[in-house]
Amino acid sequence: MGRPQAVPTQQVLNERVIVTEWRFAPGAETGWHVHGHDYVVVPQTDGQLLLETAQGNRESQLRAGQSYAGLKGVEHNVINATDHEVVFIEVEIR
């Protein structure tokens, strides 16, 4: 049985940014994807993410309000590795 899908809700889309809220039930995933833009993630909850990459798996600890940045071209599958919902805001810079 496959994992549930994370739920994206687009909040802003204009010529400069794309802002998306991501909600992950326990065990939910984004599916494999490649980032088309540099991005900033703003966690709304604490949690543990499992990042599946071509170079191997790694874990990422989220802390509510503690942002981090990623670069265009990153390819991965993001999975909620906690037993509670994880929420973050992703701001893509166009």
Backbone φ, ψ for residue 63 (5° rounding)? -125, 125
How does pLDDT run across 25-55, given as a tens digit for each residue? 999 999 999 999 999 999 999 999 999 999 9
pTM: 0.95
Q: How confident is the model at residue 83 (pLDDT cuts 50, 70, 90)?
A: very high
Among the CATH numbers 3.10.20.30, 3.40.50.1360, 3.90.1150.10, 2.60.120.10, which is that of 7-93?
2.60.120.10
